[in-house]
Amino acid sequence: MFSIASSSKGNSICVGTEDFHILIDAGITFKRIQEGLSSYNLSSDDISAVLVTHEHSDHISGLGVLSRKCSIPIYTTKGTWEGIIDYSSIGKMDESLYNEVRYDERFTIGPLTIDPFRISHDANEPVGYVISCEGKKIAVVTDLGIYDEYIVDKLQNLNAILLEANYDYHMLQVGHYQPWLKRRVHGDMGHLSNEMSGQLLCDIACDNLSYVLLGHMSQDNNYPELAYEAIRCEVKLSDVPYEPEDFEIICAPRCDVSKRIIV
């Protein structure tokens, strides 16, 4: 797994095996996706599917060009697909490429087993994904305003996770966002703060978990250093039987390719 881009401006994550790859979201240009893939000697020809989490532009803006150039199958919920079709900037979509995803209904793509689960975000039918293969399990979970026991249950026994750490609470409160936007970001259908991300990490921490890739960081309301230290602090001060050093915690670059995580 590696992040090609992960921020409030654009998201695309590559997940797979040594010889089978999928994308989760395509919220950056086709050119940037190609450049990101080339960092690890891949190209769009190596991508077998795109899983979409929801229809906001930072997750789908490059999907139209990608699908038209490469005819790659698209997997997402019905509500998200309807949102994609209604998004005028994306252009014409080939509906034959669409494969419906339903919450809590497992499916497979090549050697990968996919478990989609609902998340709390202000989109039509947003979803997170757990991907399993040969006894290893990773998750990509961003864009959730709150989490609950359902989410915690879905994220058990992971080897790695890309986890949202969107904003620092104090930066958000004193920043330039309009009051309505601050309420949206901080609300139950917005995003996870650094502290909430750390608390969720504590709830899903396990012996198998080796890598935590912090993503979807706001360019206006967060710094990688703040997110990193906040997550470490939450683990350190919690009563879980783990220390921050027990996981490799990495901040995904907002506009560049992350380290490749191999589990």
- CA gap 26, 13 in Å, rounded: 8
- CA gap 37, 163 in Å, rounded: 21
pLDDT higher than threshold 90 for residue 88? no
DSSP summary character for residue 240? S
Half-sphere exposure (Cβ direction) of 20: Cα atoms closer than 13 Å: 12
> What is the pLDDT, as a whole number, of residue 32?
97
Q: Domain 2-251 maps to which CATH number in 3.40.220.10, 3.90.1150.10, 3.40.50.720, 3.60.15.10?
A: 3.60.15.10
Domains of the chain: which residue ranges? 2-251
- Confirm if 185 and 172 have CB atoms less than 8 A apart: yes
Closest CA to 48 of 22, 75, 10: 22
Report residue 149 as tokens. Answer: 């026991």
- CA gap 59, 222 in Å, rounded: 19
Chain-wide mean pLDDT for the chain?
Answer: 97
Q: What is the pLDDT of residues 91-104, one digit of tens each?
A: 999 999 999 999 99
Q: Tokens 């350190």 — which residue?
A: 236
Report residue 168 as tokens. Answer: 């620092």
Q: What is the pLDDT of residues 189-239, one digit of tens each?
A: 999 999 999 999 999 999 999 999 999 999 999 999 999 999 999 999 999
